Amino acid sequence: MADLSVNLNGFKLKNPIMTASGTFGYCDEFEDFLDVSKLGAIVTKAITINPKKGNEGERIFETQKGMINRIGLENVGIKEFIDKKLPVLKEKNINFIMNLAGSSFEDYIETAKIAQNAKIEAIEVNVSCPNVKSGCLEFGTTPESLSKLTESIRKVYKGFLIIKLTPNVSDIESLALAAQNSGADCISAINTIKGLGIKIEITPDKKFKKTFVQGGLSGRCIKPVALSMVKRIKSMVKIPIIGIGGIATLDDVLEFLTAGADAVQIGTENFTHPDICEKLINELNHLLDELNIADIEELKRKLRE
């Protein structure tokens, strides 16, 4: 059997297949469909200092090969996460990364402190969600603001620190470099792309009824953008990269590893194929055995030759 394990700067995964934040719940919601403990890791829904109800109105809009969401980071808050969700993760031995978001600089720091005190091994800092009124994206679009936030979190949080970058910028390279130089252990890329969905219906009285959903575009349609940005980030940083964006098949996983990713997160595909992560792990294992490749490091070397 090939060795699928991955070491991301000291944070160890059974394999390079993870779930993306906001697409897999908090811990065991998908147990009816797959063995969650087999995954490299799950990334929780974004956790904020206080509970959030999320946005009102229509929050999901299907597009060709993707979807637009404006959920608005609905979550239970850090206290309930630690009291009720964390024990389940530990009891079931599920490797996880807590996604962390905030509406203000102070929110991020306080939540990171609580994560440190709770001995949460890894956090993914969300500075890239485009569908909230304040926070997240405003901290992740300039190297200066990202550096300040990353340095401040690093002072209070000693675990594995991932910065999740936005594609809604012109110079993602400078942001990746700022994250690395400010103490990040790893970069995940990309979050969703700003998009607008419009649905037009004709009413019985022959008028147009219009529905607008503006939020984050995800799914297979964004894969070329994600691949490009992972490759650009790889040219600038030495820390590991987690690739995200439109992954649905083993070929997609191989493409991200070729572009420079060390592991991947599966997002939108979980909604239509809830067993996709376990399926990809099995297919990856079979491929390495078939090609007589010993481990993921050898696979990456061959893909990048």
175: nearest Cα among 117, 113, 125 = 125
Place of tokens 């394990």: 5
| CB contact at 8 A, 102 and 129 | no
The model's confidence at residue 134, banded by pLDDT at 50, 70 and 90, is low
User: Is the per-residue pLDDT at 131 higher than 60?
Assistant: no
Residue 54 has a pLDDT of 87
Instruction: Please identify which of the residues 129, 136, 186, 221 carries the catalytic annotation.
Output: 129
State phi, psi for 213 to the nearest 5 degrees.
-130, 105
Q: Determine the Cα–Cα distance for residues 235 and 257; give it in Å rounded to an integer.
A: 14
Residue 128 has a pLDDT of 72
The model's confidence at residue 58, banded by pLDDT at 50, 70 and 90, is confident
List, as one string, the DSSP characters of 63-93.
Answer: ETTEEEE-----B--HHHIIIIIHHHHHHTT
State phi, psi for 180 to the nearest 5 degrees.
-60, -45
User: Is the per-residue pLDDT at 132 higher than 70?
Assistant: no
Q: Determine the Cα–Cα distance for residues 20 and 268; give it in Å rounded to an integer.
A: 8
136: nearest Cα among 157, 178, 107, 112 = 107
Distances (CA, A) of 186 to 123, 193, 229, 248, 258: 10, 21, 15, 23, 17
115-124 confidence digits (pLDDT tens): 999 999 999 9
135: nearest Cα among 127, 144, 143 = 127
- Concerning whether 129 is annotated as a catalytic residue, the answer is yes
Distances (CA, A) of 9 to 37, 67, 147, 153, 237: 21, 33, 20, 18, 13
Q: What is the pTM of this model?
A: 0.94
For residues 92-120, average pLDDT: 95
CA 285 to chain centre: 23
Q: Give the 3-state secondary structure of 123-143.
A: EEEECCCCCCCCCHHHHCCCH
| CB contact at 8 A, 244 and 267 | yes
